[in-house]
Amino acid sequence: MPSSVSGSGPFQSSKTRPETAPSRAIPGRFNEDMEGLVFRMHQMLIEELDADQISSMPPDERRRLVEQAAETLLRREVPNAGGITRDQIVGRVVDEVVGLGPIDAMIRDPSVSEVMVNAPGEVYFEREGIIYLSDIQFRDADHVQRIIERIVAPLGRRVDESSPMVDARLPDGSRVNVIIPPVSPKSPTITIRKFRSDKMTIEDLVAASTIEAEMAQFLKACVKLRLNTLISGGTGTGKTTFLNALSAYIPESERIITIEDPTELRLQQPHVVSLEARPPNIDGKGEITQRDLLRNSLRMRPDRIIIGEVRGPEAFDMLNAMNTGHEGSLSTVHANSPRDGLARVENMVMMANLDLPSHAIREQVASALHLIVQLARFTDGVRRVTHVTEITGMEGQIVTMQDLFVFKQIGVDAEGRILGHMTATGLRPSFAEKFTLAGIQLPDSVFLVKTGG
């Protein structure tokens, strides 16, 4: 259930969650008089400013110009406005003219990872893995629709009754999804998953309790050993962040092709070619799918192929590439367990309409994939690795697997934080000898079962 934030801060509500309440201030809802003033000033600035001149300016310069004009207008309209109130009003007016209106401050806040507009009076945000109801509001559905138009217009996209859903990427890399009536009958909706400006490393993930140091050491060795790895998890579990961190262990001497829809990965190696799928145009033509890009990438002499998320018939081409010399590939999949991840891949191969029997598909999966890393987001907001599972082969019609590491929860503390630890199962992977042959040294303790909490 979404939680709300209490206190005197910007996102206020009668419900509380003190242990996770955000501490950073973002301007919230004004009273009706203030909202009316912001609306009037916005309309006046539209009439007074040269829209073409403003649109051609760099973003920072455009914001400064509008801010100066708003301050001049406010002194004229409300000469007695106090300092803090004046700054808040000017900020809101500038956000309305050149930004994303009421949610612009949340977009600028680095601690907010997701912004969700369900209706004019229902704006939620995510911070540190927890969803909160903010007190920010739009005036009405038309106000939400106007912000949607501002989002999609510069991207060359349109949203109307004939095309009521749009997936796009903001200039800063954030992912945005909008749905308007009649598909969303109550109100136009906006969902923005913000792009992290800082790249998390495995060390950062260890510090964040996502993964433990010994398991990170093991996965580093697996990447260097060129094992094909699938990162599995539900929505918002940190799959892309984890894939980004894991990819740092790919040697700089290798040529890497990334395939995404949309682009999110930010690899640090010098030899990276990034490919991005393209949706059809207004006439329904010009679409380039991840499968098209994957097929083309095989002609580009890749050492590694990284698919941001496998979600369709490209799964067949991915497995085929893994089985024909392109080892060390990495990808993510939406699934809630390692076994579900395999089932998802199998179903996506069937989407390629190749009329392959299930047994043949499973043999392809079993021979192509080596590891599945399962992620989950827990009730305390922390994203954790819950399983590292090896694909061991086939028995009859079933792909066989064995857990190498699992997360064991032992309780919850007084502040709602999950208590537990990642532990080895005591099973050594079938490829353990290859580490030694490749000159990779792993201590025996990596595979020992932990008994403590």
The per-residue DSSP string of 246-310 comes to: HHTTS-TTS-EEEEESS------SSSEEEEE-B---TTS---B-HHHHHHHHTTS--SEEEES--
So what's the pLDDT on residue 263? 84
b/e sequence 105-124, b meaning 16+ C-beta within 10 Å:
bbbebeebbbbbbbbbebbb
Q: Where are the domains of the chain?
A: 1-23+109-195, 27-98, 202-447
Q: How far apart are CA 31 and CA 14, in angstroms?
A: 17
Say if 1-23+109-195 and 202-447 have the same CATH topology.
no
| Alpha-carbon torsion, ordered 388, 223, 270, 207, to 10 deg | 40
So what's the pLDDT on residue 187? 95
State which fold the 1-23+109-195 domain adopts: Beta-Lactamase (3.30.450)
| Mode of pairing for the β-strands spanning 122-127 and 112-119 | antiparallel
So what's the pLDDT on residue 163? 85
Contact predicate 98/63, CB 8 Å: yes
Residues of the chain with pLDDT under 70: 1-33, 51-53, 55-56, 82-84, 197-198, 451-453
pLDDT tens by residue, 25-61? 444 555 556 777 787 787 787 777 776 667 667 777 8
Helix axes 59-77, 83-98, angle to 10 degrees: 130
So what's the pLDDT on residue 31? 58
So what's the pLDDT on residue 432? 92
So what's the pLDDT on residue 83? 65
Q: Name the DSSP letter for residue 14.
A: S
pLDDT tens by residue, 158-197? 888 888 998 888 888 888 999 999 999 999 999 999 887 6
So what's the pLDDT on residue 280? 81
So what's the pLDDT on residue 4? 39
The candidate with the shortest Cα–Cα distance to 103, out of 116, 86, 89, is 116
In CATH, the architecture of 202-447 is 3-Layer(aba) Sandwich (3.40)
